[in-house]
């Protein structure tokens, strides 16, 4: 069975969708580690509910990104992590993790990349007057929301309410992330 690590910084609905799919057997994998860089984030409660090992850290307590990434990579090595899934992890992956896990890290992003990179993709797209929105899953490289695209799904929306776009998009994310992970690990 493949071992997953999920990295998240916030609410963790994608983390929960992945953990639930593993628990149900819809995903032939196990979430062996949750990594969170925001103490107090809601995703931590979700992780505890699933009894998943968590590495939660405060980036500012470390001298550099390399220092906390070395610690994360060390634990991932011990657990035999096969695939790293970024799920709302609002931080660039640095050279330490890329060197050891490059080609095994994927990210989900709420836009049709390469359009609307960054932390406010949906808000930026609504402000632009976009009529076709979407979700992208891609390999992670050193750039912000860069890396080769693995899967995309588009949906039309003519309104101007970012919350509604988030709601529609998240439903797609939870399904598309699981389908994509399953394809990658089988």
- What tokens appear for 127 in the block? 């402000």
Q: Of 70 and 149, which CB lies nearer to ligand GAR in the complex structure?
A: 149
**Shortest Å, Cβ 182 to ligand GAR:** 18
- What tokens appear for 70 in the block? 């070395």
Kindly indicate which of the ranges 24-32, 51-59, 62-70, 102-110 contains the residues binding ligand GAR, using the contact rule CB under 6 A. 102-110
Site string for ligand GAR, 154-183 (x = CB under 6 A): ----------------x--x----------
**Shortest Å, Cβ 63 to ligand GAR:** 26
**Shortest Å, Cβ 10 to ligand GAR:** 4
- Under rule CB under 6 A, residue 82 binds ligand GAR: no
- Under rule CB under 6 A, residue 14 binds ligand GAR: yes
b/e 119-146 (16+ beta carbons within 10 angstroms → b): eebbebbbeeebeebbbbbbbbbeeebb
Dihedral sign for Cα atoms in the order 66, 74, 72, 176: positive
Residue least distant from ligand GAR (Cβ)? 88
Query: Would you call 138 a catalytic residue per the annotation?
Result: no
32 CB neighbour count, 10 Å cutoff: 21
Helices (H), 25-161: 42-49, 65-79, 95-101, 121-128
Site string for ligand GAR, 126-155 (x = CB under 6 A): -------------------x----------
**Shortest Å, Cβ 183 to ligand GAR:** 18
- Under rule CB under 6 A, residue 8 binds ligand GAR: yes
Kindly indicate which of the ranges 12-20, 22-30, 93-101, 125-133 contains the residues binding ligand GAR, using the contact rule CB under 6 A. 12-20
Give the containing element (helix H, strand E) for 35. Answer: strand 29-36
Using CB atoms within 10 Å of the CB of residue 160, give its burial: 0 to 12 exposed, 13 to 18 middle, 19+ buried.
exposed
Using CB atoms within 10 Å of the CB of residue 74, give its burial: 0 to 12 exposed, 13 to 18 middle, 19+ buried.
exposed
Contact by Cβ (8 Å): 106, 86: yes
- Which residues are the active-site residues? 109
Interface contacts to ligand GAR, rule CB under 6 A: 8, 10-15, 87-88, 108-110, 119, 121, 145, 170, 173
């Amino acid at each position: 069975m493949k071992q997953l690590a999920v990295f998240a910084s916030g609410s963790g609905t994608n983390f929960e969708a992945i953990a639930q799919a593993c628990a149900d057997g819809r995903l032939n994998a196990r979430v062996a580690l949750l990594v969170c860089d925001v103490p107090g984030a809601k995703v931590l409660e979700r992780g505890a509910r699933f009894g998943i090992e968590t590495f939660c850290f405060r980036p500012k307590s470390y001298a550099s990104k390399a220092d906390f990434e070395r610690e994360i990579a060390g634990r991932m090595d011990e657990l035999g992590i096969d695939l790293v899934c970024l799920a709302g992890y609002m931080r660039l992956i640095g050279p330490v993790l890329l060197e050891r896990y490059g080609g095994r890290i994927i990210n989900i992003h709420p836009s049709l990349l390469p359009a609307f990179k960054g932390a406010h993709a949906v808000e930026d797209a609504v402000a632009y007057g976009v009529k076709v929105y979407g979700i992208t899953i891609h390999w992670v490289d050193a750039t912000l929301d860069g890396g080769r695209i693995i899967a995309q799904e588009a949906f039309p929306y003519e309104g101007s309410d970012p919350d509604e776009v988030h709601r529609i998009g998240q439903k797609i994310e939870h399904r598309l992330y699981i389908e994509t992970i399953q394809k990658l690990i089988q």
